[in-house]
Amino acid sequence: MNEEDIEKSLEVIMPEIEKLNGERELYWDNPDVLWLKYEDFFNDFAFVFERLENFFDIRIEEGQRKLIEEDCSISRNKNRASRLLNFSEYDMEDSEIHGDHINKGEVGGWRTVIPENLHEIVNKKLEWTLKEWGYK
C-alpha cells in the first residue's frame, strides 16, 4: 500500500466509523450489544464462548463448541477467502468473508500490510476513535 491507497481506504471507512461513534445509544451504550475486541479473543474460542454464554444466559455444549471452532477458524476463513478474486468480492450468502483479506490473522497484522513509514497516517486519522474504543 502507498499513501494514496491508505487515504482512499480511510475515505471509505471513516463515514461508517463516524456513524458508529455518533450513535452511542444504538451501539456503545446499548445493553443489548455485546462488544468484543479482536485482541481479547484472538485464538481463544473459550473467551468468546464464555462471553456469549454470560451475555445470552445460555450453555454451549462441548460438541457444538468444536463445530463452531472448526467452522470459524482462521484456516477455514482463509480457505473461503482464497476462492474470491480480491477484497471487493465477498461471500454474501455464507460467511461475509472478503477475498484477499486474511493474511495471518494475527493481532496488529495491518502493520505488515501498510509500510511502517505510513503507520502514523492511519494512527493520526483514527486517533480519536482508537482512544474512544479503548486503544492506546
Residue range 12-40: mean pLDDT, rounded: 87
pLDDT at 133 over 80: yes
Closest CA to 79 of 105, 61, 115: 105
Using 50, 70 and 90 to split pLDDT, how confident is the model at 46?
A: very high
C-alpha cell at 96: 461475509
Instruction: Please check whether residue 131 lies inside any domain of the structure.
Output: yes
pLDDT in tens, 47-96: 999 999 999 999 999 999 999 999 988 888 888 888 888 877 877 777 77
Instruction: Please check whether residue 13 lies inside any domain of the structure.
Output: yes
Instruction: Please check whether residue 74 lies inside any domain of the structure.
Output: no
pLDDT of residue 23: 83
Instruction: Please check whether residue 115 lies inside any domain of the structure.
Output: yes
Which of 27-31, 101-105, 122-126 has the highest mean predicted lDDT (pLDDT)?
122-126
Instruction: Please check whether residue 23 lies inside any domain of the structure.
Output: yes
> Which residues form the domain of 130?
1-29+109-136
72 versus 104: the higher-pLDDT residue is 72
Provide the mean pLDDT of the chain: 87
pLDDT at 25 over 80: no
Percent of the chain surpassing pLDDT 90: 32
Total domains, the chain: 1
pLDDT of residue 65: 97
Instruction: Please check whether residue 65 lies inside any domain of the structure.
Output: no
